[in-house]
A and B are shown apart, each in its own frame.
Chain A
Amino acid sequence: MSDEMTLYLQVWRQKDSKSKGGFQNYKVENVSGDMSFLEMLDMLNENLAREGKDPIQYDHDCREGICGACSCMINGEAHGPGKKTTTCEMHMRHFNDGDAIIIEPWRAKAFPVLKDLAVDRSAYDKIIMAGGFIEVKYGNAPEANSMMVGKEVADFAMDNAACIGCGACAAACPNASAMLFTAAKTTQLSLLPQGKVESKKRVQSMIKKMDELGFGNCTNERLCEAACPKGISIISIARMNREYMGTLLKSDY
Chain B
Amino acid sequence: MSGEIKKLDSKQPDGPIETAWDRHRFSLKLVNPANRRKRKVLVVGTGLAGGGSAAGLAELGYQVEAFTILDSPRRSHSIAAQGGVNAAKNYPNDNDSIWRLFYDTLKGGDFRGNEKSTYRLAQCANSIIDQAVAQGVPFTREYAGTLANRSFGGVQVSRTFYARGQTGQQLLLGVYQSLMKEVGKGKVKLHTRKELLELIIVNGRARGIITRDLVTGELEKHYGDAVIIATGGFCKTYYLSTNAMASNGAAQTRCWKKGAYMANPCMTQIHPTSLPVMGAYMAKQTLMSEALRNDGRIWVPKKKEDKRDPNTIPDDERDYFLERRYPSFGNLAPRDITSRAIKQAVDGGNGVGPTGVAVYLDFKDAIERDGYDKIKDKYGNLFDMYKHIVNESPYETPMRIYPTAHFTMGGLWVDYNLQSNIKGLFVGGESSYEYHGANRLGANSLMSAMTDGAFVLPVTVAGYLGETFATLEKVDDTHEEFDIGMKVVQGRIERLMNIKGTRTPDQFHRALGKVMFDNVGIERTEKKLIEAIESIKNIKKEFYADLMLAGDEKMNNELEKALRVEDTIDLGLLMARDALERRESCGAHYRMDFVDEDGEAQRDDENFQHVAAWEYQGDDTEPLRHIEELVFNSIQPSKRSYK
Contacts and interface: CB of A to CB of B under 8 A. Distances in A.
Interface of A: 1, 16, 32-36, 38-40, 42-43, 45-46, 48-55, 57, 59-64, 66-69, 82, 85, 89, 91, 93, 114-115, 118, 120-122, 124-125, 128-130, 132-138, 140-145, 147-151, 154-155, 157-158, 161-162, 164-165, 188-189, 192, 194-195
A188 B73 CA distance: 19
A127 B130 CA distance: 26
Given A1-B354, A85-B388, 10 more contacts: A42-B283, A49-B549, A55-B558, A64-B286, A64-B287, A67-B244, A114-B215, A115-B215, A133-B178, A142-B134
Contacts of B244: 61-63, 67
A147 B133 contact: yes
B135 A129 contact: no
A114 B555 contact: yes
A132 B558 contact: no
B197 interface: no
B192 A122 contact: yes
Contacts of A128: 74, 176-177, 180
B550 A42 contact: no
A148 B148 CA distance: 12
List 6 A-B pairs, minimum CB-CB distance, nearest first. Answer: A148-B145, A133-B177, A141-B134, A129-B184, A141-B130, A49-B550
Contact of B504 (A49, A135, A142, A161): A49
Given A52-B548, A114-B215, A161-B170, A194 B136 contact: yes
A141 B91 CA distance: 17
B282 to A, nearest CB: 7
Given A54-B552, A149-B145, A161-B170, A192 B136 contact: yes
A154 B147 CA distance: 10
A36 B142 CA distance: 37
Nearest to B281: A39
B290 to A, nearest CB: 15
Contact of B281 (A43, A67, A69, A115): A43
Interface string B161-197: 0011010111001001110110110000010100000
Contact of A62 (B73, B79, B215, B458): B79
Prevailing SS type, chain A contact patch: loop
A129 B138 CA distance: 20
B141 interface: yes
Interface in B127-165: 127, 129-147, 163-164
Contacts of A164: 169
B281 A129 contact: no
Interface residues of B, number: 87
Contacts of B184: 129-130
Most A CB atoms within 10 A — which of B129, B138, B246, B283? B138
Given A63-B245, A118-B555, A144-B129, A136 B135 contact: yes
Interface stretch (B3-11, B34-42, B51-59): B51-59
B543 interface: no
A141 B74 contact: no
A136 B244 CA distance: 30
Contacts of B181: 129, 133, 135
Contact of A53 (B71, B147, B550): B550
B66 to A, nearest CB: 12
B133 A154 contact: no
Contact of A42 (B71, B147, B281, B549): B281
Nearest to A35: B281
Interface in B461-509: 502, 504, 506-507
Contacts of B91: 145
A51 B132 CA distance: 50
B391 interface: yes
B138 A157 contact: yes
A82 B552 CA distance: 35
Contacts of B215: 114-115
B142 A151 contact: yes
B284 interface: yes
Contact of A151 (B129, B141, B164): B141
